[in-house]
């Protein structure tokens, strides 16, 4: 039984999985976006959020810096995270990454996503687990009213303008005869 075993195995041994996630989180912070499978991205998100949480403490916190250095494999990327994180993610308590589904991989039809860090001015998405999940059942049942309102509120399409009639010149009329 796998009671209290929260991590996803991803078909790898523990050491291989840890090394892969360390490399992926380093690449994510180096390039600000990576393309990977959905399951790997879901396993990577908590690790990336934790690294940003450590970086928000600043370089002055030696313990947080060393904890992040145990995961991030490149020193330049580690310095970049600690320099940028305080300003870039200061107003955001969590949710530092965004997953954008891109379709299926050509070889094995694995579902692929682009995992990227949010921009400093990007608003938090409300689709899916955000505000839509928090709506009461009563408001969810009023879909027909919302649809009817959207149809009445939509502006009527403007009538298409007709092209002005082109008058035939004397030369064109003589060529047709």
Domains delineated in the chain: 14-136 (3.90.1030.10)
Whole-Å CA distances, 145 to 134, 140, 142, 150: 19, 10, 5, 9
Task: Please give the Cα distance from 66 to 76 (Å, whole number).
Answer: 14
Provide φ and ψ at 128, rounded to 5°: 85, -110
Quick one: average pLDDT of 159-174?
58
Please indicate whether residue 28 or residue 133 has the higher confidence score (pLDDT): 28
Task: Please give the Cα distance from 70 to 75 (Å, whole number).
Answer: 11
The winner for highest mean pLDDT among 108-117, 118-127, 134-143 is 108-117
In the chain, the largest separation of any two C-alpha atoms, in whole Å, equals 94
Q: Is 5 exposed, middle or buried (0-12, 13-18, 19+ CB in 10 A)?
A: exposed
pLDDT value of residue 132: 43
Residue with tokens 């690294």: 51
């Amino acid at each position: 039984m796998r009671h209290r075993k929260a991590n996803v195995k991803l078909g790898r041994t523990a050491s291989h999985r840890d090394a892969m996630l360390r490399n992926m989180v380093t690449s994510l912070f180096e390039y600000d976006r990576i393309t990977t499978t959905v399951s790997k991205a879901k396993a990577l998100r908590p690790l990336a959020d934790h690294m940003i949480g450590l970086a928000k403490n600043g370089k002055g916190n030696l313990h947080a810096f060393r904890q992040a250095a145990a995961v991030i494999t490149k020193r330049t990327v580690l310095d970049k995270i600690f320099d940028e994180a305080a300003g870039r993610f200061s107003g955001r308590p969590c949710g530092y990454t965004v997953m954008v589904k891109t379709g299926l991989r050509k070889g094995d039809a694995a579902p692929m996503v682009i995992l990227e860090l949010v921009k400093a001015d990007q608003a938090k998405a409300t689709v899916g687990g955000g505000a839509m999940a928090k709506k009461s059942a009563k408001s969810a049942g009023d879909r027909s009213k919302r649809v009817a309102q959207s149809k009445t509120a939509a502006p009527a399409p403007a009538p298409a303008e007709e092209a002005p009639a082109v008058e035939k010149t004397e030369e064109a009329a003589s060529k047709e005869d």
